[in-house]
A and B are shown apart, each in its own frame.
Chain A
Amino acid sequence: MRRRTVLALAEFLIWWAALLALWLVLVSAVDTLELAVGAGAAGLGALAATAARRAVTAP
């Protein structure tokens, strides 16, 4: 059970890092505000991606 939680958290963090990197590549100028908004949007995206991945791959 504990191992599964750690794996889920790791998956979320990997999605979050990848999506934040994508955000920072695509915006026109990198500054603090973009970083904050990007971190939030990447968090939402990572939640959705984790859920979608779970829905597709049967446990």
Chain B
Amino acid sequence: MNGWLLTAGVVLAAGGAAALLGVATGPLRRRVVAQNLLTALACPGLLLLAQAYDRPSYVDVALVLALLGPVGTLVFARLLADELAADPPRARTLTWAAAGLGAAVVVVLCAAVGPSRAMVKLLVTGALLIVGNVIASHALSGGFPGESR
């Protein structure tokens, strides 16, 4: 076991468990936020696993998740618009904490990979992850009222 695997395990086990608990219990506004954060935690975990197993092509899994996760959250934001408007979630701190985790993981991995095409791919994945999650979180808290028809 190396440090990458250990970090990935900690991120996936601790973060994943907390997010699953949030999805399974509590009011709707907490569940949708936890569902959104699950992507933000799983994606850095997958990036760390790709580095741990020394398989750069596994980064594709994280890339696809970074692309599709926020889209899934936007579907929930649209379908649950009425319920969420009555009781909007507020998760500014959590959203930025998850974005910070993603950014930290990507920066460390970039330093480990060194300047190359793989590093640009990591940066693209990280940018998609952070921007996607911030937008999805904004949509959940009713940030785009005109779009929730």
Contacts and interface: CB of A to CB of B under 8 A. Distances in A.
A22 B57 contact: no
Contact of A25 (B57, B60, B120): B120
Nearest to B117: A25
Interface residues of B, number: 7
Contacts of A28: 57
Contacts of A25: 117, 120-121, 124
B10 to A, nearest CB: 29
A7 to B, nearest CB: 27
B97 to A, nearest CB: 28
Nearest to A26: B121
A30 B57 CA distance: 14
A28 B121 CA distance: 11
A24 B117 CA distance: 9
Nearest to B120: A25
A28 B117 CA distance: 9
Interface in B26-41: none
Nearest to B121: A25
Contacts of A22: 124
A28 B124 CA distance: 15
Contacts of A24: 117
A39 B50 CA distance: 29
A22, A26, A28: residue with the most chain B Cβ atoms closer than 10 Å: A26
Interface string B103-135: 000000000000001001100100000000000
12 contacts: A22-B124, A24-B117, A25-B117, A25-B120, A25-B121, A25-B124, A26-B60, A26-B63, A26-B121, A26-B124, A28-B57, A30-B117
Interface of A: 22, 24-26, 28, 30
Which 9 A-B pairs rank lowest in CB-CB distance, beginning with the nearest? A25-B120, A25-B121, A25-B117, A26-B121, A28-B57, A25-B124, A22-B124, A26-B124, A24-B117
